[in-house]
Amino acid sequence: MSFFQQLETQIAPILIGTLITTIPLMVTALGGLFSEKSGVINIGLEGMMVFGGFGAALIMPTLTTSMPWYLVIIIGFVVGILFSLLLGLLHAFLTIKLKINQIISGTAINIIAPAVTFYFVKLLYGTYETPRINFEISPIQIAPGAIISYDKIMVIVMAIIILIATIIIFKKTRIGRHLEAVGQNPQASGSVGIPVNRLRVGAVLVSSLLAGFGGVSMVILFVGKLTLSLIAGYGFLALAILIFSGWYPIKCLIGSILFAFFISLIPSLSTIIATLDLSSAPIDKNTIQGVINLLLETAPYIIAIIILMVFSRNNKAPKALGENYDKEQR
């Protein structure tokens, strides 16, 4: 079979992979949206994802034999979100109460959260991964070659609800308008009675909640357990998507789909390349394949860097993003 004929056979897995990978990227990017719309930078999204995934991966394997799968998923999300909220509280306290530099606080969370997580994973299980979550659910075929299970469908529906709720909040509600006002000019907002710090704390907590949701969804949708490499890089991709989107919810969805497509394309291209006849090439086949796989695996992150370079100039961030608020100043 030619390269393109083999690619045709991979279309269904690529589309399913794109759908599944979109979910954590989109929800985490929406989490960053809440925080940054209020003027607080949250680059600690990845650490919050890891902590959320850790909470779910701790509790869910112990419940699968005694509860219906949908209750296990709900409990997993609740526990995971509570774990990530702890980091949201920490970030809010450091940046809003103590007025510590927001980038430093987020960076510290990204360093500390995975370290603490995998210290305890190793302590509890003797390895750097948690036990697998085993749901006895028969998958369904939604198209030729496209198979998905009900637990994944449930997570996808929950993510769609989050997207719709986010759009409504920023388009139709007073809280959404106040968040935008606070992110643009906190001093003016405070002078007319808007509780700037209270809104910012709430926005950071929602941000951590959604990042935790993203981490839990990766555990459920991807491999059914938390591993060292599972979430690595996804929080930073979500930040790139947020900048690409210009801080708009619908564009967060579009950006997530694009990134998810490239990420889902990698395994299929690697599989196809492994079957190609490279015997006539002047370089060893394994070397060629290794270089190609490396390029494919790093492609999403290279694209993310390019997006940051291009769109960070063109898209207008909230004017007060990263600025501390002092209500004594007018």
- CATH of span 3-132+157-314: 1.10.3470
Is 243's pLDDT higher than 60? Answer: yes
Burial of residue 317 (CB within 10 Å: 0-12, 13-18, 19+) is middle
Is 91's pLDDT higher than 80? Answer: yes
Is 96's pLDDT higher than 80? Answer: yes
Q: 211-240, pLDDT tens digit by residue?
A: 999 999 999 999 999 999 899 889 999 999
User: What DSSP assignment string belongs to 199-251?
Assistant: HHHHHHHHHHHHHHHHHHHHIIIIISS-BTTTSTTHHHHHHHHHHHTTS-HHH
Domain parsing of the chain, residue ranges: 3-132+157-314
- Contact, 9 vs 222, CB < 8 A? no
pLDDT at 305: 74
Q: Under 8 Å CB-to-CB from 136, ≥6 apart: which residues? A: 69
Q: Percent of the chain beyond pLDDT 70? A: 83
Q: Comparing 280 with 121, which gets the higher pLDDT?
A: 121
